[in-house]
Every structure is written in C-alpha cells, then in structure tokens.
Amino acid sequence: MRDVAGSWLSGPTSGSGPEQKFKGENLGLPESGPGSMAPLGVRFGALVVDWLLAYGLVAAVVSVGGPGALGGNSFAAVSSWAVPLMWGVIGVVCVWLFAQTPGQAVLGIGTARVDAEERVGFLRSLVRVVFIFFLLPPLIQDEDGRGMHDRATGTALIRSR
C-alpha cells in the first residue's frame, strides 16, 4: 500500500490510468461504511469539537486558579497560547494512544495508517498536529481527499462506524 500512497510531495496523477470512482479507492479503502474515507464536513466537525474541548479545559484550569492568579482578565491572557497548546496535546496523545481524538470519536471517524497495518504512533501524530496547526496543509488535498498532513505521515481519516 506504500506504493499507492506515494510521496506527500508528488503532484496530481497524470490521468493516464483509470479514474477512481470514489475517494480512497486508490488506497484500497471501501467506498462506504467503516474503513472508508471520512468526508470533509465530518472531519471539520471533529476539529471544531476538539477545539471546543481544549477551550473548555483551559477555561476550567484558569477558573480553578482564581481571578487573581494570573492578573486581571486571566482567561483572555492565557487562552491565546493555552488553547492551541491544549488542542495540540489532545491531538497528539489521543491519536497516538487511541487512533482518534475525542472529536473524531464523537463523529465516528479515526486516523489510520495507509502504508502499514500498525498504529499511527507518536511521531506521526506529532507531525500531523504540527501540520494541521498551520492550516494550509489540510486544505491542499489529493484525489483521495487527504491533506498534505496525511500524505506526509502516510495516514488517512476514515470512518470508524
């Protein structure tokens, strides 16, 4: 399957071969059901759920510290760096350990390697989150609907149910 996944830098296919009928066909994934490619809307929804979870966790931690713990408007001061940091930690740890973030679990999708039967692993999880953080890599997608962050790490977001 590694040959099918290609390099994350390789451009679009030349069109010389047969066109795929559905996203994920070139990766050997089914057209629908568990194991098929997750649609963009569901993936975006999972990202929003994870971001809201990170926001809530940071708000809870800051409120436990008390109003004077960090000065005047403590949540505003901390949230600018703590929410993205919390989101990143949640993303790396959960994909590494469970192959899905809480948002992905709620929406029935998960992260899987397309180049091996192994779990995603810590390093791949970290690279995915760093790429997603910069926003542009997930928006540049190949014919299978995988962003540059998934191509770079040999992963895909698939339906888990």
- DSSP structure string for 128-160: HHHHHHTSHHHHSB-TTS-BHHHHHHTEEEEE-
Please report whether residue 14 resides in a domain. no
Please report whether residue 108 resides in a domain. yes
Please report whether residue 69 resides in a domain. yes
Give the separation between CA 153 and CA 20, rounded to whole angstroms: 22
Q: Which of 135, 158, 134 is nearest to 146 (CA)?
A: 158
Q: Roughly what angle, to the nearest 10 degrees, separates helices 40-64 and 74-98? A: 130
Please report whether residue 106 resides in a domain. yes
Please report whether residue 154 resides in a domain. yes
Please report whether residue 96 resides in a domain. yes
Q: How many domains does the chain have?
A: 1
Please report whether residue 3 resides in a domain. no
Domain residue limits at 103: 35-159
1-18: average pLDDT: 52
Whole-number pLDDT of residue 44: 92
Q: How confident is the model at residue 15 (pLDDT cuts 50, 70, 90)?
A: low
88-93: average pLDDT: 96
3-18: average pLDDT: 52
Angle at 123 between CA 11 and CA 45, to 5 degrees: 70
Q: How confident is the model at residue 135 (pLDDT cuts 50, 70, 90)?
A: confident
Is 70 exceeded by the pLDDT of residue 148?
A: yes
Whole-number pLDDT of residue 147: 87
Please report whether residue 90 resides in a domain. yes
Is 60 exceeded by the pLDDT of residue 68?
A: no
62-80: average pLDDT: 64
Q: How confident is the model at residue 74 (pLDDT cuts 50, 70, 90)?
A: low
Residue 23, Cβ density class (10 Å: 0-12 exposed, 13-18 middle, ≥19 buried) = buried
pTM over 0.85: no
Give the separation between CA 5 and CA 46, rounded to whole angstroms: 24
47-58: average pLDDT: 95
Residue 156: phi, psi to the nearest 5? -150, 150
